[in-house]
Structure 1
Amino acid sequence: MKILILGASGFIGSDILRRLHNDGHVVTGLARNTVTARRKFPLANWIDGDLARMKGADSWTELVADHEVIVNCAGALQDGLADNLSATQLDAMLALYEACILARGRLIVQISAQTSGTAANLPFLATKRGADEALAASGLPHVIFRPALVIGRNAHGGTALIRALAGLPRVVPLAHAESPVRVVSVNDVASAVSRAVSGHIAPGSDLHLAADETVTLRDLVALHRQWLGLPPAKFLSLSPAIARPVSMLADLAGYLGWRSPLRSTAMAVMSEGVSTQAQTNTLSVATAAETLARHPSAVQDLWFARLYLLKPIVILCLSLFWLLSGLVPLANLEGAASHFLTLLPPSAATALTLATCVLDIGLGVAVLIKRFSRRAMQGMLLLTAFYLLGATVLEPSLWLDPLGPLVKVLPSMVLTLTALATLEER
C-alpha cells in the first residue's frame, strides 16, 4: 500500500516509517524540513509540508489522492515560536478528514495520547482530544492509539530528560518522583501501527498501549541509570514550587523556539503521572526493563545524557558573554575606542567601537532564538577570528598580558563549537 506518514522524521514517526517500509509498503514522509530526513531515511519518499499552514481541505487533496493510508505521528507539546498547537493538532487534522471524506474514505491511524485527567484542559491534550473526537465522528475508517510514555533506543523530549537525569553525578534532583508511570516501547507502537494498516486491528478501535507494570518516575530514572552503567545515586525530591521557576524559564525558551521537556505542560502531565485506562492492548508490550535490555547502552548514550542538560547552559553562557562584551564598552566608549586610534581618527574609532558593540549585542540576542541560533554561532566564530586578528595587528602585546584577554577568548570559541555540535534536537 501507499502510506503517508505525518511527522515521519520524529522519534515515533521514524520508527513507524522503517517498520512499514520493511512490511513492503511504499512510504512517504511529510515533514517541515526534509533535507536531513532524506539523508537519514532514503528508503522513503519525502514531501515538505508545514501542518500549521495546511488548514484547508485543498491543501490535502493531492496527498490524499495519492495514498491509501495516512498515519498521523505529528504533534507538539506547547505553543511557541516553532509550534502552533491549534493549527497543527486540530485545524490541519479537520482539513485532512474533510479531504479524506471527499476522496470517499482513507484509513487514518492516529497516534494520540491519554486526553483525560486533571491536565485534560491543557492546549496539548485539548487539541488532541478535539482531533480524536472529530475523527471518531467523521465516519472514516480509523484506529486511534494512545501510547503511554514511549521509550526506545533513541530518545527525545521526556525520554531524553529521563536519560539526562539518570546521567547526573551522585545526586539526582527530581520533582514528582513518586508519580506513577507506564511505558511502551517505540518498537511496539510501530508494531501496533503495522497491525492496524494490515487490517489485524479493526477500524474504529481506540486503544491504549502500555506495559502491564506501573513504576514510579524515580524507579524509571534509576532503571535508566543502571542501563547507562552508572552506580546508584541519591534522589533528592523537589517540591513542585521549587520546580515551577524552572518550568517558567523553559516556557520562555519555548516561545523562542526551543522545545524543552521541562515546560509547564510536561510538568502538569507528570504531576499526575503517565498512565492509561484499563488494559485494552492488542499485542504484547515490553516493559521498560525489557525494552532497555534489548538495546544495551554505549558510550555515546552516556555522552548524550551528560551533555543534554549542559546544552541550554552553554547557549545561555554564550549569550551572556556576547551581551556583556557589547554592553561593557559602552560604559567607557572613549577608552574602548582608544585601541583603534593607532589606525583611525577619533570619530572613526568611536564609530567602529559602536559597530562592534551592536554586533556583539545582536549575536548575544540572536543565539537565544532557535531559528537564528546556528547562524549566530557561526557569526560568533567569524567575528571572534576577526577580533583576534585585529588585536594581533593593533596590540600584539595583549597576547602576553598577565590577565590574558586574548588567550581567554579561545575557550569561548571552543564553547561555541560545542554548542554547534549539540544543536540538533533529533
Structure 2
Amino acid sequence: MKVLVTGATGLIGQSVCARLAADGHVVVGASRSRHPSRFGAVSQWVRVDFGQAGTPEAWLPHLHGIDAVVNCVGVLQDNAREDTAAAHASGAAALFRACAASGVRRVVHFSAIGVDRHQASAFSASKIEGDRALMALDLDWVILRPSVVLGGPVFGASALIRGLAALPVLPVMPDTGPLQVVALEDVAETVALLVRPDSPARVALELAGPERLSFAEVVALHRAWLGWRPARPLALPGWAAGLLYRLGDLAGLLGWRPPLRSTARREIRHGAVGDPEPWTRITGIRPRSLAESLRLRPATVQDRWFAGLYCIKPVLFVVLVLFWMLTAVISLTTGFGNGLELMHRAQTGALAGPGVVAGALADGAIGLAIAWRPTARRGLWAAIALSCFYIVTGTLLLPELWNEPLGPLLKIWPILVAHFVALAILDER
C-alpha cells in the first residue's frame, strides 16, 4: 500500500512510519518540518501545516495514489507556533473530507484517551471535535485513543518522566490521576494491523496498558530501569505546582513546548485510563505492562545521559538568556563607566561610547534570540561568534586582560562551551 502519515516527525508518527515501512508499504510523510529528511523510513515527504491547510483543496494534491491515511498530528496547547483547533479539528476535518472526495477510504486517526468522557481543555475539546468530523463521513475510519505512550524515543510527558527519574528527590504534583501507560511498540503494531483494507472499520479503540499506576510509580519504575536507587518523594504544595505550570505557559508563549503547562494541569486530574479489552479483542494485541516493556529494552548510557540532562536543559537556557540580557542592561546602566574606561584603555578614542552601546545592544539581541525558540539556534551561533570576537579584539587591544585576577577573557571559554552544549541538546525530537 501507499500510506500517507501526517505528523510523521512526531513521537508516534516516526514509529508508525518505521513499522509500516518494515511491512513493505510505501510511506509518504507529511510534516510542517523544514528538514524532515533524517527520518529514513519515509519514501517521500510533503510539507503541510495543519494550521494553513483548512480546506480539502489543500490536501487533494497530496492524496493522488494514496491507499490509506494515518493521522498522527497532535499538539498540547496553543502557543505562538501551534493551534489546537487547527491541528485537531479544522485541519483534520479538511483532511478527512479530502479523503472522502478523492476515494481514500481507510483513515486511521489518533485522538486521546478520555476525550469522549470529558473535555477539560482546548486540547481534549478539539480532539473530540476532530473525532466527530471523521465519524460523520462515509469512510472506513478507525479512531485510536492512546493513553500516555512510552517507548525508546521520548517527547513531552514521556521525556518528563525520564527526566524526573534522574532526580534524587521526586517532586510529586498534587491532583494527578492514575495512568495506564501504553507501549509505543504496541501502538505502532496496532496501526500496522488496522491500516489494512480488510481490517475492522468504524471503531474507536482505547489504547491503554493493563495496570493503573500513579505518576510517581511510573517515574519510580523508570528510575529502577536506569539503574539508580529509589528517589525520595517530595509532595509539592499547590502554589509551587501552580508556579511551575505558569512558567511552562510562559515558555510556551516563547515558542517552547514544555510538558508542564496549564493544559497538562487540567488534563492530568482525570488521569489517562481506559478499557483495553475491545482493543485486544479486535486486534489480538495484549498490551504489555510498563515493567515488561522496560525489561525488554535495557537502559543504555545514552538513556542515562538524556535523563540527567533533561532538567539541566531549561536551567541552562534560562542562565544563558539572563547572562546576555543582564550583560546588556549592566553595560547601559551601572557598568557604563567601566565600559568606557576599558575602551579608553584600548585607545579607541571617539568610538568608546558608541562601542559600549553597540556591544550592549548586540548582547541584548542575542539574549532575546536565544529566548525565542524559533530563533534560538541562530542566537546561540551568534553568541559563539560574538564571544570569539570579544576574545580576538580583547587580545589585540588589551592583552593584559589575560593576566587579570578575575579572568575576563579566560571566562569566555566556559561560556563558549555552554553554548555548544545548548546547541547539542536544543532539539526536542
TM-score range, shorter chain: over 0.9
Deviation at 1:119, TM superposition (A): 5.9
For structure 1, the residue ranges without an aligned partner over 5 or more in a row are none
Distance 1:330 1:135 in 2: 58
Q: SS of 1:109's equivalent?
A: strand
Shift of 1:333: 2.7
Fraction of identical pairs, as percent: 36
Aligned to 2:30: 30
Q: Which amino acid aligns with 2:141?
A: H
Secondary structure of 1:38's counterpart equals coil
Shift of the 287–88 alpha-carbon distance from structure 1 to 2, 3 Å rule, reads: same
Distance apart, 1:260 and its partner CA: 0.3
Q: CA deviation at 1:392?
A: 1.3
In structure 1, how many angstroms separate the alpha carbons of the residues matched to 2:338 and 2:236?
48
1:230 aligns with 2:233: no
2:247 aligned residue: 249
Structure 2 CA distance for partners of 1:11 and 1:156, relative to 1, 3 Å: same
Q: 1:64 to 1:397 in 2, by over 3 A?
A: same
State yes or no: 1:321 paired with 2:323. yes
Kindly indicate whether the alpha-carbon contact (under 8 Å) linking 1:54 and 1:92 is maintained by their aligned counterparts in 2: yes
Corresponding residue of 2:407 = 404
Q: Aligned to 1:308, which of 307, 310, 333?
A: 310
Other-structure match for 1:21? 21
Q: CA deviation at 1:263?
A: 1.1
Tell me, yes or no, if the aligned pair for 1:55 and 1:95 is still in contact at 8 Å. yes
Secondary structure at the aligned position of 2:87 is classed as helix
Change (3 A) 1:320 1:34: closer
2:157 and 2:219 mapped to 1: Cα distance? 11
Following the alignment from structure 1 to structure 2, what is the Cα–Cα distance between the partners of residues 187 and 176? 30
Shift of 1:339: 2.0
- The one-character-per-residue Cα deviations of 1:38-96 (angstroms, maximum 9, x if unpaired) are 22315521112211111111111111233111100011000112211111211111211
User: Is the Cα contact below 8 Å between 1:176 and 1:217 reproduced in 2?
Assistant: no
State the 1:342 CA deviation: 5.1
Structure 2 unmatched runs, 5+: none
Q: For residues 326 and 227 of structure 2, what CA distance do their matches in structure 1 show?
A: 41
Give the structure 2 partner of residue 417 of structure 1: 420
Q: CA deviation at 1:101?
A: 2.1
The residue matched to 2:37 in structure 1 has which SS?
A: helix
Q: Determine if contact 2:68/2:104 at 8 Å carries over to the other structure.
A: no
Contact 2:71–2:107 (8 Å) recurs in 1: yes
Q: Aligned to 2:269, which of 268, 271, 286?
A: 271
Alignment RMSD: 1.7
Q: 2: distance between equivalents of 1:204 and 1:147?
A: 17
CA displacement at 1:147 relative to structure 2: 0.8
Pick closer, same or farther for the CA change 1:175–1:148 going to 2, 3 Å. same
| Closer, same or farther: CA 200–172 of 1 in aligned 2, 3 Å | farther
Label 1:420 to 1:398 Cα distance change in 2 as closer, same or farther (>3 A).
Answer: same
| Residues matched between the structures, number | 424
> 2:9 touches 2:39 (CA, 8 Å); kept in 1?
no
Distance 1:402 1:70, change over 3 A: same
**AA partner of residue 27 (structure 2):** V
Alignment-derived partner of residue 155 in structure 2: 156
**Residue aligning to 2:356:** 353
Distance in structure 2 (CA, Å) of the matches to 1:336 and 1:249: 34
In 2, distance between residues paired with 1:71 and 1:117?
Answer: 20
Report the Cα offset of residue 393 of structure 1. 1.6
Which residue of structure 2 lines up, in the alignment, with residue 285 of structure 1?
287
Distance 1:42 1:113, change over 3 A: closer
Q: Give the structure 1 partner of residue 187 of structure 2.
A: 189
> Structure 1 328/22 Cα, relative in aligned 2: closer, same or farther at 3 Å?
same
Q: How far apart in 1 are the matches of 2:117 and 2:109? A: 23
- Deviations for 1:387-415, whole angstroms, at most 9, x for unmatched residues? 11111122211111112222222211111
Aligned mates of 1:367, 1:119 — CA distance in 2: 38
Give the SS at the match of 1:28.
strand
